[in-house]
Copies of this chain bind each other. A is one copy, B any other.
């Protein structure tokens, strides 16, 4: 059996390194720190100033990139990509970076996000005689660049970015430059950092990544976000920035704070761990409960649970232990063990739970199937009461901006009331964080404003026709 999961999945991480003798090694380490953003495949393209070399494969970063492989992708410029997990043989086709040769020269491109007008653009390109070798929307971007009549690559890229819609944080590599761009609404994160030149004769290394945790491992310092609508070009002439698009109302993905990003990252200018702590505190204020212990659903629920515990004064206890050796598939006994799939990952601790009124803290409920099993396991381990508290609002609408959400009819909150969900999962009480509470915890309106479409169904961009297209095109990034 495949190990079941009831989490939404991020659809990629990207990194870029400019000006370091071990560029592909730093890209590899950065990808490793972003492994949580995609475990299906990973790739790195590097340039030695003249030639681009690419290696990509299915699997985890640390399995794909050996010393032998890194030796095949030398140079001082590199970009990297890690991709979420799907099945099927054609998956390698859609792995990134995508590398092509065209009239603008050799380019490699990696992309986090999802283009909402990819099908339309592809159809135009198709009519004009372009061929497509992947089902990834990223291929659309390189075609636009190749067909742009602008003379310089910077202009051609700006031109192309204006033609695409949706969510994208892009890094691009040419023989001697790195390009980094973010969509005008800033859906997905993209940050810029710097490693100081270690000797008089060496300039600083400029780095880009989806999250700051990638900088920590390679000793880079976080400088700033790439801004919505910005295109940063790093080359022999230094770092140049331009805005290829008029700024639009910002709509950064609030779910990066709820679940996707690593707790040690800064995304959209805020420390994730502090946001999650604030969510837990807010949740305790909004939906208090009389209970003996707070039990996080590991690992993602832990920080919010800590906030809940502080606010409520109810002590936190690790009543569910996570197994850290979980593989991707598992052989199940024919004589079924109840809740087997969940037990592979989580084991309830009877001595902690027995006789207790328990508040379970989780960060989201998608289909509800896992929550149901967890509540049952906790109850069977002797808990007297099980109260579920969720550190975000009910998920009622799919995402078209780079998150792998199930279709609406599989989202339990799109089809059941909170009380029906409570009954389905078997909890004594259930409460979600309010949208207002979530916004407050994430600091909405301070520096950033957020996209909350998955909780409201109100999409910040036009998505006509997108839902239908979804199955036909891999949200390849």
Contact = CB atoms under 8 A, between A and B. Distances in A.
Chain A: number of interface residues, binned into ranges: 35 or more
Contacts of A226: none
Contacts of A65: 331
A29 interface: yes
A22 B335 contact: yes
A317 interface: yes
Nearest to A147: B129
A142 interface: yes
A94 to B, nearest CB: 13
Interface in A262-277: 262-264, 266, 271, 273-274
Interface in A206-222: 213, 216-219
Interface string A101-141: 11100000000000000000000001111111101000000
A217 B344 contact: yes
A99 B93 CA distance: 10
Contact of A219 (B66, B131, B337): B337
A352 B273 contact: yes
A201 interface: no
A273 B351 contact: yes
A280 to B, nearest CB: 12
A219 B263 contact: no
Contacts of A466: none
Given A318-B273, A325-B61, A130 B133 contact: no
Contact of A102 (B131, B334, B350): B131
Contacts of A101: 126, 131-133, 135
Contacts of A343: 216-217
Contacts of A54: 89-90, 93
A278 B242 CA distance: 58
A153 interface: no
A422 interface: no
A21 interface: yes
Contacts of A260: none
Nearest to A60: B325
B72 A89 contact: yes
A316 B277 CA distance: 12
Nearest to A302: B318
Contact of A271 (B63, B70, B351): B351
A349 B102 contact: no
Closest 5 CB pairs of A and B: A271-B351, A129-B147, A62-B327, A264-B321, A100-B131
A196 to B, nearest CB: 12
B263 A318 contact: yes
Nearest to A339: B219
A234 interface: no
A408 interface: no
Contacts of A198: 335
A310 interface: yes
A25 interface: yes
A67 interface: yes
A323 interface: yes
A344 B219 CA distance: 12
Interface stretch (A30-38, A284-292, A450-458): A30-38
A409 B103 CA distance: 34
A382 to B, nearest CB: 12
A54 B89 CA distance: 8
Interface string A245-267: 00000000000000000111010
Nearest to A320: B264
A315 interface: yes
Interface in A58-93: 60-63, 65-67, 69-70, 72-73, 88-90, 93
Contact of A321 (B143, B218, B262, B317): B262
Contacts of A330: 62
Contacts of A29: 333
A98 interface: yes
Contacts of A350: 271
Given A62-B327, A302-B318, A325-B35, A102 B129 contact: yes
